[in-house]
């Protein structure tokens, strides 16, 4: 098994405009010193990326990402952000296929796949989010759903691109509910995602892709979740909005 550096990622969702993003970074940086043994990524709303990047100018180790992109580079797509635009605003990473994109905005597996391809083509590091709903889990469809989401999203990804790919396993029933998956549940799902990656890429490439857990991660459960087998970090929503709580989750890695 490859030695994968833990990733602690914060998904702010539709919270924090430019001024709040700046304040957050100013408060976070003294709490989270630059560390070689873990990665810290922040995903502000698109409109706050430039401000976040500028506020973290002295901290290139803190990576800034965009929460969603369109698959085209430019065009008549009112309200959308393209991968090259996100890059030029200072994003180095992108979340693709977050459950809110899939379930609130009706994003399809096919669209998710096109966004993965567009993100990689523009030089963004792609964090592909996958996860089952409670109904799917109860119906015993966990493996089928995850396999389908992984396969559809990575259909055009070349093995050489895997160094720019991370997967986030986020069970829909755990997102924003306060009910996290147990470390054992997470380990089981991550092992299956790893198996899906092995079927898609060769074993060596697949073993190097970080698989993050997301869904009600808090300072008090982050350490146990990150210690679970095949859990290479966390994608944090609500608890990433407060610098102290997020810094405690960063400290829980490793
Ligand atoms: P949560 O969100 O930590 O608030 O559950 C996680 C996510 O949606 O990425």
Of 9, 15, 170, which is best to mutate to test ligand 1, by the most ligand atoms within 8 angstroms of its C-beta? 170
pLDDT value at position 1? Answer: 54
Of 238, 239, 248, which is best to mutate to test ligand 1, by the most ligand atoms within 8 angstroms of its C-beta? 238
Is residue 166 lining ligand 1, measured as CB closer than 6 Å?
no
Catalytic residue among 39, 93, 98, 125: 98
Is residue 176 lining ligand 1, measured as CB closer than 6 Å?
yes
Task: List, as one string, the DSSP characters of 56-112.
Answer: TTT-TTEEEEES--BSSSSSS-TT--BHHHHHHHT--EEEES-HHHHHTS---HHHH
In angstroms, the CA 127 to CA 86 distance is: 15
Query: Residue 235: beta bridge partners?
Result: 9, 214
Which residues of the chain are modeled with pLDDT < 70?
A: 1-2
Is residue 170 lining ligand 1, measured as CB closer than 6 Å?
yes
Q: Do 176 and 184 meet the contact criterion of CB atoms below 8 Å apart?
A: no
Q: What is the pTM of this model?
A: 0.97
Q: Is 4 helix (H, G, I), strand (E, B) or coil?
A: coil
In angstroms, the CA 183 to CA 213 distance is: 9
**Tokens standing for 3?**
């030695």
Protein residue with least CA distance to atom 9, ligand 1: 237
Which atom of ligand 1 lies at the shortest distance from residue 95's CA?
A: 9
CA atoms within 13 A on the CB side of 125: 21
Q: What are phi and psi of 95, to 5 degrees?
A: -90, 130
Protein residue with least CA distance to atom 2, ligand 1: 237
70 is catalytic: no
Per residue in 43-90, pLDDT (tens digit) is 999 999 999 999 999 999 999 999 999 999 999 999 999 999 999 999
Closest by CA position to 212, among listed 104, 65, 87: 65
**Tokens standing for 214?**
């997301």
98 is catalytic: yes
- In the 8-state DSSP scheme, what is residue 181? P
pLDDT value at position 233? Answer: 98
pLDDT value at position 202? Answer: 83
């Amino acid at each position: 098994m490859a030695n994968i550096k833990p990733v602690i990622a914060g998904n702010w969702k539709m919270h924090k405009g430019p001024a709040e993003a700046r304040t957050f970074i100013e408060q976070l940086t003294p709490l989270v010193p630059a560390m070689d043994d873990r990665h810290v990524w922040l995903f502000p709303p698109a409109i706050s990326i430039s401000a976040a990047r500028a506020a973290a100018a002295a901290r290139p180790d803190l990576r800034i990402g965009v929460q969603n992109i369109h698959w085209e580079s430019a065009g008549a797509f009112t309200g959308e952000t393209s991968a090259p635009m996100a890059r030029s605003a200072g994003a180095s990473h992108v979340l693709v296929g977050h459950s809110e994109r899939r379930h609130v905005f009706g994003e399809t597996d096919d669209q998710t796949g096109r966004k993965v391809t567009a993100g990689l083509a523009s030089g963004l590091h792609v964090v592909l989010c996958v996860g089952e709903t409670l109904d799917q889990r109860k119906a015993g469809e966990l493996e089928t759903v995850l396999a389908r989401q992984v396969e559809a999203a990575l259909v055009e990804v070349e093995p050489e691109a895997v160094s720019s790919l991370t997967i986030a396993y986020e069970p829909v029933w755990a997102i924003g509910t306060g009910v996290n998956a147990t470390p054992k549940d997470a380990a089981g799902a991550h092992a299956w995602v790893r198996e899906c990656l092995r079927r898609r890429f060769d074993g060596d490439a697949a073993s190097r892709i970080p698989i993050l857990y997301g869904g009600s991660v808090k300072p008090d459960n982050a350490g146990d979740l990150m210690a679970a087998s095949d859990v290479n970090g966390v994608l944090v929503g609500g608890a990433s909005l407060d610098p102290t709580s997020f810094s405690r989750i960063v400290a829980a890695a490793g």
